[in-house]
Amino acid sequence: MKCSEQIIDYMHEYLDEEISEEHEKILREHLQSCSDCQEYFRELNKSIALVQSTSHIQAPDDFTSKVMAGLPKEKKKTEIQR
């Protein structure tokens, strides 16, 4: 990566949605002129999109009943509490 670390920091600020207008302007202008950084930024965005594309999975059907069966008996409650 030959470009300044500063630009990469701005990419992260952008991804955290915490970038200032000034930094965003610098980032935009830089990306227009630098294909390496464009590629880098694309890869960052792609990796996030891939992680977010993992399907939302659900707990097994018997999950709640298993938890409830695993709870300490109510009468023992006082012994277990700290």
Partner 1 sequence: METIVKHRIKQVIKGDQNAYGEIVEVYKDKVFQLCYRMLGNRHEAEDIAQEAFIRAYININSFNQNLKFSTWLYRIATNLCIDRIRKKKPDYFLDAEVPGTEGLTMYSQVPSETPLPEDEVESIELQDAIQKEISKLPDKYRSVIVLKYIEELSLNEISEILDLPLGTVKTRIHRGREALRQQLRHV
Residues contributing to the site for partner 1 (CB under 8 A): 12, 15-16, 40, 43-44, 46-48, 50-60, 63-64, 66-68, 70-72, 74, 77, 80-82
Q: How far is the CB of 25 from partner 1 (least distance, A)?
A: 21
Q: How far is the CB of 49 from partner 1 (least distance, A)?
A: 9
CB 17 within 8 A of CB 48: no
Half-sphere exposure (Cβ direction) of 69: Cα atoms closer than 13 Å: 5
CB 41 within 8 A of CB 34: no
Q: Which is nearer to partner 1, 28 or 76 (CB)?
A: 76
Q: How far is the CB of 55 from partner 1 (least distance, A)?
A: 6
Residue 17 region, left (φ>0) first, then alpha (ψ -120 to 50), else beta? left
